[in-house]
Amino acid sequence: MTEFFADAEASFNDARFIFYGYPFEGTACFRKGTAKAPDEIRRHSYNFETYLMELGIDLSDVALNDYGNLELTKDQGKNESLVTDLVTKIVNGGKFPIGLGGEHSLTPPAVKAVQAKYPNLVVVILDAHLDFRVEYENNPRSHATVTRRVSEIVGAGQVCSIGTRSVSRAEISEARGIGLKFIESGWTELREYLADLIDDLDGPVYLSLDMDAIDPAFAPGVGTPEPFGMTPYEVIQTINFFADRIVGFDCVEVCPPYDNGNTSALAARLTRHLVGAIWQTQQRFK
């Protein structure tokens, strides 16, 4: 790690929000380079004012800590244990975990830790891909199996994917058969669907943002770009809808070698908005 996420210089004990990096790309199946993302997102986070105009929140008033990057290896089992152990430490300390990927295989072990703290946890995944395969390329821990693994942890009824537009025939057939919730991208009235979703899903929320949920016109530097996606404003809209219930977050699948830094900058800015939105709700309900 070359530098902290901007403004994340409080001590671990004093901080309310804890950032950590997951520089892993071991199961990437199209573009390589997502291991560079945590540091690139951090670097671009310094481009922005501390004041979030859209929220009226100044992040200089929020205690943030950057724990650094996890020391990962090719052994995914050990990597998952590192994630679960750290996120457990964060949530048990009454703090909010923010994972910066790296590929989407970060999410299941993070969810496992948060669900141990919040047994009725709901997981909302923003992703172009349903990622409901049992395994991919003979690997059950592939980034293409994330929704399947998460549903095994919290239950399929506690999971919803938003922005879906790429799926195999077998995946969609099984997902529909078991009642997995997913919202295809392209709906013009996303707010209506989010309102219904809030009624259907009851419990604290873990939010996972795969940056390929966003249309590659806005976020071209991702591992597996897929056209016809969400806009950044729709992502902000989703964050705002769930802000008073979100208890954990990750931002994954940025692939810095494939653009000029725009996707890393967008990931950093969306993450900063999320921190501000959650902080705002916490202050409101004090």
Strand 246-252 relative to strand 205-210: parallel, antiparallel, unpaired?
Answer: parallel
Annotate 7-71 with three-state secondary structure.
Answer: CCECCCCCCCEEEEEECCCCCCCCCCCHHHHHHHHHHHHHHCCCEECCCCEEHHHCCEEEEEECC
> What pLDDT does 199 receive?
77
> What pLDDT does 64 receive?
98
> What pLDDT does 282 receive?
80
Question: Looking at domain 17-284, which of 3.40.800.10, 3.40.1160.10, 3.20.20.150, 3.40.630.30 is its CATH number?
Answer: 3.40.800.10
Is 241 within 8 Å of 194 (Cβ atoms)?
yes
Residue 267 and residue 252: Cα distance in Å, rounded?
9
> What pLDDT does 140 receive?
67
> What is the mean pLDDT of each successive set of 10 residues along the chain, which is 286 residues long?
90 98 80 93 97 96 97 92 98 98 94 98 96 75 86 94 91 88 77 77 94 97 94 95 96 96 98 97 71
Helix (H, G, I), strand (E, B) or coil at 181: strand
> What pLDDT does 195 receive?
76
The letter for the amino acid at 201 is: L
DSSP assignment of 235-271 = HHHHHHHHTTTEEEEEEE-B-GGGSSSHHHHHHHHHH
> What pLDDT does 25 receive?
83
What distances in angstroms separate CA 20 from CA 23, 86, 175, 224, 242, one per listed residue? 10, 9, 31, 23, 22
Cα 76 to the center of its chain, rounded Å: 19
pTM, two decimal places: 0.94
> What pLDDT does 165 receive?
92
Annotate 112-180 with three-state secondary structure.
Answer: HHHHHHCCCCEEEEECCECCCCCCECCECCCHHHHHHHHHHHHCHHHEEEEEECECCHHHHHHHHHHCC
Strand 51-52 relative to strand 96-101: parallel, antiparallel, unpaired?
Answer: unpaired
DSSP assignment of 194-224 = HHHHHHH--S-EEEEEEGGGB-TTT---BSS
The letter for the amino acid at 12 is: F
Delimit the domains of the chain by residue range: 17-284
Could you report how far apart the first and last alpha carbons of the chain are, in Å?
35
